[in-house]
Structure 1
Amino acid sequence: MPNYLSPGVYVEEVSSGVKPIEGVGTAVGAFIGIAEKGVIGKAVLVTNWSQYVSEFGGFIPNAYLAYAVYNFFAEGGTSCYVVRAASEDAKKSLYIVKDSQGENLFEISARSEGNWGNRISFQISSSTNGQMNGFKLNIKYTEKSSFSDEYVGEDVEGELVETFDNLLIVNFEEKINDLSSFISVRPLVDLKKVDNMDKVPMFTEEDEFIELANGVDGISYVEYIDSEEKKLGINAFTPIDEINIIAAPDVSNMVSNRNIILEILNYCKTRKDCFYVIDPPHGLTPQQVKDFKEGAGEFTGNSFNSSYGALYYPWVFINDPLTGKKKLIPPSGSVVGTYAYVDSARGVHKAPAGTTDGYLDTVVGVEKIVTKGEQELLNPIGVNVIRSLPEGICIWGARTLSSDSEWRYINIRRLMMYIEESVDKASQWVVFEPNEPTLWGKVKRNISAFLTRVWRDGALYGSTQEEAFFVKVDEENNPPASRDAGQLVIEVGVAPVKPAEFVIIKVSQKTLSK
C-alpha cells in the first residue's frame, strides 16, 4: 500500500481482476519428411508454397513431403512448420579453392546437404573496382528437369543466381555466409596471421565455372526418431508451441513405418497439444489396412490405439504440378489442409468430414473405390475412409484410433486440446498469487467467460451455460491441506457436441381416416 503523507488527491490504477482468455490457434500444420534441400532437423515456418520451394526445393521422385505441403496450402492451410529429415550419411557438395600459389585457401560448399548442391557452380575473377587483393565470386545454379534428375536439356550452363563483388579474404566469410541462399564458405588458413591476410584465390578461366561435387541426399535410412537432445527428427518440433496437426507422408512406405508411427503417436500424447494424421502403406486392401491398424497378419506389432491420431485410407490421385498427369500420393497433406480450413471456417469443434467440410479440392481420384460394406469393416476400428461419392471425393470418417468411446471422435479430442491449452496458457498469471477466495473468484470468472464464448460458438452441448459447462474453485476442492501444499485446484467440466455420424430417418406409411 502507498503511504499518504501529504493532503491531496491521489489517482491510482486498480486491476479489474479480469484477464480474458484467448483461444490458441489450432490450424498450424507440422510436416516432416524428405526434401531436396534445406537445413536438416530444424523446424522452419512456411506460409506459402513459394517459400517452401525457396527453403526446401521442389518435388523429388519417390518422396512426398513437397506434395503434402503443396496440397496443404491448396486445401486452405495458411501456415505450417517443416522439418527436413535425413540419414547421417547426408553430405554437402563442396570444392576446395586454392590460392595463387596452389595452396588450399578456403572451402566453398552448398548451403545444405544433398546432391542438389552438385548443380551449383562458381567462378572467381578480379573485383570490379580493381581493389588490391580483391576478388569477385559468381554463383550459377542449374535447375533440375521436371521429369528426371538430369539437368535441363538446353540450359546446361545454369542461371547466374548470385554475385559477390569486392571481396577480401579477411572479410569474405561474413559477406557471403550472411547473404547467400546457395553456398557457404570456410577459410582453411589462419586469417589472424599477417601473411595470410593478403592472399587471393586462384582465378578461374574466363567464362569457366567449376561445379561443386560429392553431395549426398542421405535417404538410405531417414532419421525420424531421435533423442530429445539431438532434436533432428520429430523432436525438432519440441520448441514450437504453435503446431497442432502433424503429418509424415514419407513414413508410409518405409520398412520401419509401424515403429515410427507409434513413436510419433507417443510424442503427440506426451505433448498433449498435437494430433497426428497417419498414412497407411499404398496398395492395401480393406482387410490389409484393418490388419495394419490392429497389428495383425503381415503387419505384426502393437495396435494403433491413441486418441491423438487418425488413420486415413486409401491413397489419392492428384494432378501432378510437374507433369500434369495423375500421381498417387499419401492423403495426409490434403487431410491436414482440410483440418486447417475447417478450423478457420467452422471451428475446431466441427468434424473435418462430410460432403462439404470434407470435400477434397485437390484430389481427382482414389487408389481404391471403397464400398459401403467395406467401410462398415473399417469405420468401427477407427480407419477413416476417403470415398468417391456423387458429390465428389470426400473424407467420410471422423474417428480417432482410440478404443475408448469417450475419445472416439477427432473433433472431441481436438476441442479438448484447444480448451486445455487455452486455459493453461492464460492462467500462468495465477502462479504465486495469494491462494484465497478473491483469487478463486477471478479464476472462475475468467474461465467461465472463455467457456461461454466456446459454447456460443456451438462447440458445447446445452441450451444453457449450466448444461454446457461448469467451473468449480472453492473451499470444497481447496481445503486447508491443499492450500498448505501450495495447490490451487480448479475443476472444469464441459459437454462437447458430438458429430451426427449416423443419420437415421424413420419413414412409415400413414393411413388416412375418412
Structure 2
Amino acid sequence: MPTYKTPNVYVEEVATLPPSVVPVATAVPAFIGCTEKAGNSNEYFGKPIRISSILDYTTLFGGAYATNITVTVDDTEQITEITRGDGSAVTPAYLMYYTLRLFFENGGGPCYIVSIGSYEDQPGKDEFAAGLAAIRKEDEPTLILLTDAVNLINSDDYYTLCQSALKQCNDLKDRFAIFDVLASDRDTNGIGANFRQGIGTQYLKYGAAYYPYLQTALNDYYTEESVTISGLALAVEPQGDDVGEYRTENSELIVTYNGAQSENPQIAITTHPSRTSTVIAIENGVLTLKVPTGGATVADILAAAAAIDISPYHLAAGAADTATILPSLAATPLTYGVADSASTVSLAALKTQKTGLYNTLKTTLNTMRVMLPPSGAVAGVYAKVDRERGVWKAPANVSLASVIGPAVKVTNEEQDNLNVDPTAGKSINAIRSFTGKGTLIWGARTLAGNDNEWRYIPVRRLFNLIEESTQKATSFVVFESNNAITWLKVKTIIETYLDGLWRQGALAGATPQDAYFVSVGLGQTMTEQDILEGRMIIEIGISAVRPAEFIILRFSHKLQQA
C-alpha cells in the first residue's frame, strides 16, 4: 500500500482476476543422432538445438548420408543385384535426416536436435548417453527419440539407452519416450521378445514402443561417387594426343596401343625389367587383362606403379610376353581399355563412357526408397493430434504420410501378442496397413500395458500436461502467506484450468464435480505441523478420458411383435 503525502488524485489498479494456467507444449521431440555437419569443432556439437523446419535442419546440420551402393551387372550389362555398401537392406547407416523428413511430413513442428557426431563417426552407447544428458538440461522437450541408436552394433546397448531415457522421463516427469522395436527382433520367440527382455521393468509408464519398420516414399540419397558398378567391361575412349602411354586415371588402368593390329598382338607391362607383372592381349578390339596364376591384379599393378616413375612410358606394337617398356612407334594410334570382369567403376566415371547404362542405372537408383524405424513418423502424428484434437486424444487410427506401407504385415494373431503381454504387460503398438485406409498406427498403449492407471498413452501425456502446466502457473505462490486467502487463490486458478479442459472433452464426467476436484486447506490437506514446516499441500483429482480400444457390437434376434 503506497503512502500518500502530497494532496493529489492518485490512480490505483486493482487485480480482480487470478493468474491463469498456460498449457505447456506437449509434442516437442528431441532427436539424438549423427548429422552431416558435426564434430568437436562444430558449435552445435553435443548441444540441443531448436529447429522448426527441415530447412532449419539442413542449414545448421547438413543433408542426408550418401549411401554407398554397389550395383552388379552381367556380361550383357543387365542389373543383377543392388546392395548397400554395408550389405544392409534395411535402413541407411545414419537416420537423422530421413527421420526428420518423416516427422515434419506427418505434422511435426518445433523440435530439438542433438548431434553426437558426423557421418564419419560411429558413436556408441557413451555418445548417446551424453546426448541424453544434454537433453535433460532443456525444459521444453517433451518427447525423446533415440534416432540412430537402432543401428548400434550391440542391441543390448540400445536397450540400456532405452532404460536411461525412461529414467529421465520419470525423474523430470515432463516427457515421454518413443521407442522402435528393432527390425531383427522377430524370431521363434515371437515379435519383440528381445525388446521386452531388454527394456527392464522400471518406469514403463513413461514410454511406448512401435513395430514394424516402415517402407517410406523417401528417396535413398546417394552421390554418383558413392555408387559403384561391379562386373563391367570398360572400353576407354581415346585420350587425344596421349598415345603410346601407360598411366592411371580415376583409379583405372589405361593403356594406349600404337601400331596396326596383328593376328594376336600382346603387350607386357612390367614394374621391373626382370619381372613381368601381367600380360594384356587384344581380343576382339578390346584389351583384355590376362592374369597368370598367382599373378598381379589391376589393383596390384596400380599399387606397384605408384612406387616407380611411370610417366610416360611407351608400349610397342606386338610386344612379346616378356618385353619391357619400349619407345613409341610412329603409327596410327589405337586406344583400348582394360577389360576386367572383376573391375569396379563409379557411376560418375560411367557417365561419359556408357551413357545408355548410366541413364538406366540413374532411373533404377531413383526408384530406391529408404526403410526407416517408425518413431519419427509417430512423433509427427503425436504433434498433429495434439494440435488438432488435444493431447487427450489417442495418437492412433491415424494414417501415416510419405509411407508406402509397413515393412512387415502384422496379422490379428500377431497383434494379440504385441498388444497384450500377459507375462509383464509390456505392450508394443503395431503399425498396420488396411485396404482403402492406408498405413495406420493401430495401438495406443504405454509399455505399462497391465497398469489400469497408465495403460494408455493419452492418459500419461495428459497428466504430464496438467502437472507441468499447474506447476509453472503456481510458482508465484512460493513464499506467499500460507493462509486461506492464498489457498483460495491457488484453488481457483487450478479449478478454472481444469474446467476448461473438461469443457474441451479432456476429462470425463457429466458435471465438473464428476470430472475433477481440487482440495487445499488446514484440516483438509494440511496439518498445523505442515504449515509450521512451510508446506502448502494441494490435492488434485482428475478423471481422464480413456480411448475406446475395443468396439463390441452385440446383435441378437428380436421376435416378431405383429
TM-score (norm 1): 0.70
Q: Which residue of 2 aligns with 1:359?
A: 399
Q: Which residue of 2 aligns with 1:292?
A: 194
Contact 1:85–1:223 at 8 Å: present in 2 too?
no
What's the CA shift for 1:223? 3.4
Say whether residues 1:503 and 2:545 are aligned partners: no
Q: Which residue of 1 aligns with 2:499?
A: 452
Letter paired with 1:290: G
**Structure 1 residues 385 and 304: CA distance shift in structure 2, 3 A:** farther
TM-score (norm 2): 0.64
Contact 1:247–1:278 at 8 Å: present in 2 too?
yes
SS in 1 for 2:482: coil
**Structure 1 residues 364 and 40: CA distance shift in structure 2, 3 A:** same
Please show how residues 223-234 of structure 1 align to structure 2 within 5 Å: 223-226=126-129, 232-234=130-132
The runs of 5 or more residues in structure 2 that have no matched partner are 39-43, 68-92, 222-365, 422-426
SS in 2 for 1:320: strand
**Structure 1 residues 288 and 250: CA distance shift in structure 2, 3 A:** farther
Say whether residues 1:219 and 2:114 are aligned partners: no
Aligned residue pairs total 374
Say whether residues 1:492 and 2:527 are aligned partners: no
Letter paired with 2:458: N
Equivalent residue in structure 1 for 2:528, among 480, 489, 492: 480
Contact 1:31–1:82 at 8 Å: present in 2 too?
yes
Q: Which residue of 1 aligns with 2:95?
A: 64
Q: Which residue of 2 aligns with 1:265?
A: 166
Q: Which residue of 1 aligns with 2:462?
A: 415
Say whether residues 1:314 and 2:212 are aligned partners: yes
What's the CA shift for 1:6? 5.3
Structure 2: distance between partners of 1:270 and 1:291: 27
What's the CA shift for 1:53? 1.1
**Structure 1 residues 324 and 274: CA distance shift in structure 2, 3 A:** farther
What's the CA shift for 1:246? 1.3
Structure 1: distance between partners of 2:379 and 2:474: 29
Letter paired with 1:250: D
Letter paired with 2:25: G
Equivalent residue in structure 2 for 1:45, among 46, 50, 68: 50
What's the CA shift for 1:293? 3.4
- Cα shift readout 1:225-267 (whole Å, capped 9, x = no counterpart): 54xxxxx411111232111111112112321111111111111
- Cα shift readout 1:322-353 (whole Å, capped 9, x = no counterpart): 34422211000000000000000000000000
**Structure 1 residues 24 and 468: CA distance shift in structure 2, 3 A:** same
State which drifts further: 332-341 or 313-322. Answer: 313-322
Structure 2: distance between partners of 1:303 and 1:491: 28
- Cα shift readout 1:188-215 (whole Å, capped 9, x = no counterpart): xxxxxxxxxxxxxxxxxxxxxxxxxxxx
What's the CA shift for 1:320? 2.4
Letter paired with 1:51: D
Say whether residues 1:373 and 2:413 are aligned partners: yes
Structure 1: distance between partners of 2:439 and 2:461: 24
**Structure 1 residues 220 and 388: CA distance shift in structure 2, 3 A:** same
Q: Which residue of 2 aligns with 1:186?
A: none
Please show how residues 87-486 of structure 1 align to structure 2 within 5 Å: 114=118, 217-221=120-124, 223-226=126-129, 232-254=130-152, 255=154, 256-285=157-186, 287-295=189-197, 302-303=200-201, 306-321=204-219, 322=221, 323-354=366-397, 358-381=398-421, 382-390=427-435, 391-402=437-448, 403-476=450-523, 477-486=525-534
Off by >6 Å, runs of 4+ in structure 1 = none
- Cα shift readout 1:144-173 (whole Å, capped 9, x = no counterpart): xxxxxxxxxxxxxxxxxxxxxxxxxxxxxx
Please show how residues 7-26 of structure 1 align to structure 2 within 5 Å: 9-16=9-16, 18-26=18-26
Letter paired with 1:281: L
SS in 1 for 2:465: helix
Structure 2: distance between partners of 1:479 and 1:240: 36
Letter paired with 1:293: F
Structure 2: distance between partners of 1:303 and 1:487: 33
Contact 2:166–2:203 at 8 Å: present in 1 too?
no
Letter paired with 2:383: A
- Cα shift readout 1:366-407 (whole Å, capped 9, x = no counterpart): 111110111011101310000111211100000001142210
What's the CA shift for 1:314? 0.5
Structure 2: distance between partners of 1:320 and 1:479: 61
Letter paired with 2:416: E
Structure 1: distance between partners of 2:142 and 2:457: 13
The runs of 5 or more residues in structure 1 that have no matched partner are 87-113, 116-216, 227-231
**Structure 1 residues 240 and 234: CA distance shift in structure 2, 3 A:** same
Structure 1: distance between partners of 2:514 and 2:123: 56
What's the CA shift for 1:278? 0.1
**Structure 1 residues 288 and 63: CA distance shift in structure 2, 3 A:** farther
Structure 1: distance between partners of 2:204 and 2:125: 25
Q: Percent identity?
A: 37
Structure 2: distance between partners of 1:349 and 1:392: 24
What's the CA shift for 1:282? 1.1
What's the CA shift for 1:281? 1.3
**Structure 1 residues 250 and 288: CA distance shift in structure 2, 3 A:** farther
What's the CA shift for 1:27? 2.0
